[in-house]
Amino acid sequence: MSRPVLVVSAHLDDAVLSWGGTIAALTGRGVRVVVLTVFAGCAGDPLPPYAEQYHTWWRAACAMAGDTAAGGMRLRRDEDVRACAVLGAEPVHLDFLEALYRRGAGGSPRCCAGDDLFSPPGPDDLVLEKAVAAELGGWIARLAPGEVHAPAAIGGHLDHVLTARACESALRDAADEPRARWYEDLPYALEPPDNGPAAVSPLTDDDWRRKIEAAAAYRSQHPMLWDDDWPDRLLAHAREVGGGSPGERHWDTAPAPDGDH
């Protein structure tokens, strides 16, 4: 039996949207895949104003009852459980807060507008990065994966950058360093990135079908990410990456500190 594969995801949907076909291909071969989401913690109320805007979208998409931070995250965790079930993967949810919910020492929100989600890490973020690296290191030690797949932080989303850097640190400190793959981040990678030579994981039609079925589980996120033609957009990108047949792109070297290769 081969060693398991650990797929690290910044948020509750990133791994499936970006790498779901490869996850399906792995589990289809009998490989154990654990999808670990870093920023899946439930924040306290009241919601920061910018987070409230997101919750408004989620309620519209899913008829979500209530508007608490905990209610929103429970909804998203449930979506992730359903998506991972489609792929035959095991979901793990860590309790770190995503940038949308984080506050500074004085109580001011980390993010007040969309641009803040793509701002460089500040001192508090760097402290958080070290804590994430320590937690990931523990999971790598316990799971002993043969490979670790993590986001390449294309697009520079703050949480993706922190996740990529924390994963690189955890891998560097691992006693038995697994092979690493850094998958491109969707939907940000729909705008062609200039990240150097990439490798492509080819997908069968069934791998692709399972990916789209799993991605459809994240109903709360669709209004922010996609128009109704999202399956067609993903397929067009995957065919471009795969040279006509669906594929998913990754790199074998870690992203640079700013999130670019």
Question: The tokens of 30 are what?
Answer: 């009998």
Has residue 159 got a pLDDT over 70? yes
**Paired residues of 93 in beta bridges:** 37
Q: Is the pLDDT of residue 260 over 50?
A: no
- Please tell me whether the peptide bond between 187 and the residue prior to it is cis, using omega within 30 degrees of 0: yes
Structure tokens at 17: 């949207």
- Mean pLDDT on 131-149: 97
pLDDT at residue 164 in the model: 97
Instruction: Read off the pTM.
Output: 0.92
List, for residues 232-248, the tens digit of each pLDDT value: 989 999 999 999 999 99
Find, among 155, 156, 242, 232, the residue nearest to 198 by Cα: 242
Contact 25, 201 (CB under 8 A): yes
In percent, the amount of the chain with pLDDT more than 70 equals 89
Q: How many CB atoms lie within 10 A of CB 94?
A: 17
pLDDT for the residue 261: 43
